[in-house]
Amino acid sequence: MPKGKVAFLTTPASGSRADLIMSLAPSELEVTCIDNALPDDEKIPLCSDADAIMAIPPDVSVGLLRGCPNVRFIQLLSAGYDRIDVPAIGEMGIPIANNGGANAIAVAEQTIALMISVCKKMMVQWHSTVNRRLWRDSLAELEMVEVTGKTVGIIGLGRIGKRVAKLLKGFDAHTIYHDILEMPEEVQGELNARPVPLDELLATSDIVTIHVPLTSKTRGMLGERELEMMKPSSFLVNAARGLVVDEGALYQALRNRRIAGAGLDVLEQEPATPDNPLFELDNVVITPHVAGFSTETSVRAARFGYANISSVLGGEPPESLIVPEE
């Protein structure tokens, strides 16, 4: 007999990913898939007897929870949680956990891919060769640079930032980082990463890569002032959240070649509008917020999520707990 009921909130856009997650449900949990695009008053009857809610994407409203008094735990299958009212849900006494770093490998790999793509002008090469059918057009003007041996500054040395640092060791990079938490010396040694103040990181890095959650403290943390501190030859990579960077200031910095380029998996407004001026620039590589997606990520996130739910329903504390900002 199932030991608990789980309402799995997802959307049709999740497609086969949702099917895969459902197929991994353990026998002790009765999991019901519910379309999260439905209004709350239609979802409440479907969730009213759930002991836990699992969500992808991370949208769980306070109104829904008020109509589902049995819910004791919320498990997100994403790393980000900025679309959830964490303080209000915390006041209701319902703990929330994210995916326990299940997407760290995928995001770190996409980060390295963006670094290489923007440094090597991959999309400019592709457009010239495939779209325009021009073989090695304007090769001398490409000004391609290598990632190997560069100073890379990581903003946020959490699970994803650490994975990026590990991959950078293979590029013989000089890795520096800035984080609100002090890392043990053994971690710094293992990652070959040195802590520095944010201003120093921005001023000395050849590549700056962002791996912080979106909070009131990180929103807009890189604006005109911070971008002005970066070297004209430097690149910015953002696979975290678009709102961490002032997009207007970034556009001006890129258009005026104040920095050399950017690799972006996230934008301020998503889905992006067709008239976003960043699309007109040739020194930007943009992907549609897919860095955390992979078959392996879905499997890891599902297994972690189900195990975490089972632990909580069995009276154990959750792992990867999200703590409200103070």
Active-site residue among 159, 178, 211, 289?
A: 289
Calculate the CA 275 to chain-centre distance.
24
Q: Residues with Cβ < 8 Å from 13, sequence gap 6 or more?
A: none
- Has 289 been annotated as catalytic? yes
Closest alpha carbon to 212 in 179, 176, 168, 249 = 179
Q: How many CB atoms lie within 10 A of CB 195?
A: 15
Active-site residue among 226, 241, 247, 300?
A: 241
- Has 241 been annotated as catalytic? yes
Active-site residue among 143, 270, 280, 316?
A: 270
The strand pairing partners of 174, in sequence order, are 151
Which residue has tokens 């800035």? Answer: 178
Which residue has tokens 């992808």? Answer: 56
Contact 52, 312 (CB under 8 A): yes
Q: Residues with Cβ < 8 Å from 158, sequence gap 6 or more?
A: 179, 211, 212
Q: Residues with Cβ < 8 Å from 95, sequence gap 6 or more?
A: 73, 74, 312, 318, 321, 322
The CA distance from 161 to 154, in Å, is 7
- Has 83 been annotated as catalytic? no
Label residue 11 exposed, middle or buried (CB < 10 Å: 0-12, 13-18, 19+). Answer: middle
The CA distance from 286 to 271, in Å, is 12
Q: Give the residue numbers annotated as catalytic, written as ranges.
A: 241, 270, 289
